Amino acid sequence: MAALCSACKGITPQALAQPDGYRHIDSAHDLIHLAKVCDFCRLIRLAMDQDCRTPKSDEQLRTNTKPEPLYLFGVGDGLDTAEDAPGDGVQPPMLFGINVHIPDIEYDYDLVKMSLFSDHNSAPARNQDVIGTRLLTDSGSSEAFGLVERWYDTCKTNHKDCNEAFTGPETSLAKSGSNIMPPLPTRVLDVGPADGSGEPKLLVTNGVHAFYAALSHCWGKQRILTTTSHNLAQHCNVIKFASLPRTFQDAIKIVRFLGLRYLWIDSLCIVQDDADDWRKESVQMGRIYKDAEITVAASGARDGSEGCFVPRPPLQPVVRLPYGDPDQGEYMSATLFPDALDTTVSETPLGSRAWITQEWMLSPRVIHFTKARMVWACRTLLKCEDGENETSGDEQRLFESARRYRQAKEAKPKSDSLVDHEEILGFYADWCDLVSTYAARSLTYESDKPVAILGLATEVGKGIAEEYTSGVFHDDFLLHEAFHTHCVLTQLLWFAKVTLTRPLALQDQPHWSWTSTIGAISFLAPARAAKSCIRELNRVKTSGSASAWRFSVRLKKWEARREGDPSTRSGDDYYFMEFYPKGSITYGGFVTQNTKLFSGRDMTPGGWMVFDLNEWPAEPFYLAEISNNEFNEKPDGSNVMFLSEIEPDLGDGSDRRFKRLGVGQKLFAWTLDLINGDINLNFLHSDTGYVGTLSSYQLVAPDYPIDLPDFLPLISAYAPPKSHRSPLRRVAPGHTQVQAPPRAIMRRSSTLQYFNNKTSAFYVDGTGIPDVDFDVGESYAGLIPVDASKPESEQQKNFFWFFPTENPAGKDDVIIWFNGGPGCSSMEGFLQENGPFLWQYGTIKPVANAWSWHKLANVIWVEYPIGTGFSSGNVTATDNAETADQFVSFWKNFVNTFDLQGKKIYIAGESYAGIYVPYVGAAMLDKNDTSYFDVKGAVYYDPVMPYDDAMNFDHAAFPSFYRYWKNVFALPSGADKQIEQDAKNCQLDEYFNKHLAYPPPARPWPAANVKEECDIIAHFDAISTIINPCFNGYHILDTCPVLWDVLGFPSIMYSPPNTTLYFNRPEVRKAIHVPVDYPTWSECQDPVFVDYNDNYNGTEHEEKFQTLVERTNNVHVGSGLADYVIKPNVTTLAIQYIKWNGQQGFQKQPSEDLLIPTVNNVDENVPSWAGANVQGSVHTERGFTHSTAKISGHMVPQYAPSVAFRHSEFMLRRVDSLSAGAPWSVNISTTFQWPY
Tell the burial category of 1103 from Cβ atoms under 10 Å away from its Cβ (0-12, 13-18, 19+). Answer: middle
Neighbouring CB atoms inside 10 A of 731's CB total 16
Tell the burial category of 569 from Cβ atoms under 10 Å away from its Cβ (0-12, 13-18, 19+). Answer: middle
Task: Give kind and range of the element (H or E) at residue 1175.
Answer: strand 1173-1181
**1000 within 8 A of 994, measured Cβ to Cβ:** no
911 tagged catalytic: yes
What is the distance between the alpha carbons of residues 1164 and 1176, in angstroms, rounded to a whole number? 27
578 closest CA partner among 459, 684, 448, 669: 669
Regarding beta strands 692-694 and 679-685, do their DSSP bridges make them parallel or antiparallel, or are they unpaired? antiparallel
What separation in angstroms does the CA of 739 have from each of 58, 414, 715, 743?
A: 42, 45, 8, 12
Rg (CA), the chain: 34
Neighbouring CB atoms inside 10 A of 67's CB total 13
**1048 within 8 A of 1083, measured Cβ to Cβ:** yes
Amino acid at site 978: Q
759 closest CA partner among 805, 722, 804: 804
Select which of 29, 1123, 1179, 1207 is catalytic: 1123
Rounded to 5 degrees, φ, ψ at 1102 are: -65, -40
Select which of 118, 333, 401, 911 is catalytic: 911
DSSP secondary structure string for all residues of 477-490:
GGTTSHHHHHHHHH
**132 within 8 A of 117, measured Cβ to Cβ:** yes
Q: For residue 855, what is the DSSP state?
A: G
| Strands (DSSP E) found in 911-976 | 934-941
**79 within 8 A of 382, measured Cβ to Cβ:** no
What is the distance between the alpha carbons of residues 927 and 917, in angstroms, rounded to a whole number? 16
DSSP secondary structure string for all residues of 787-799:
-TTS-GGG--EEE
1063 closest CA partner among 909, 816, 832, 847: 832
Task: Give kind and range of the element (H or E) at residue 62.
Answer: helix 58-64
Rounded to 5 degrees, φ, ψ at 664 are: 180, -160
The CA-CA-CA angle for residues 731, 737, 739, to 5°, reads 150
**966 within 8 A of 1027, measured Cβ to Cβ:** no
**832 within 8 A of 838, measured Cβ to Cβ:** yes
**1086 within 8 A of 823, measured Cβ to Cβ:** yes
Neighbouring CB atoms inside 10 A of 1172's CB total 16
Question: Would you call 440 helix, strand, or coil by DSSP?
Answer: helix
Select which of 1194, 1202, 1207, 1225 is catalytic: 1194
What is the distance between the alpha carbons of residues 7 and 1095, in angstroms, rounded to a whole number? 38
Q: For residue 336, what is the DSSP state?
A: P
Residues annotated as catalytic are: 911, 1123, 1194
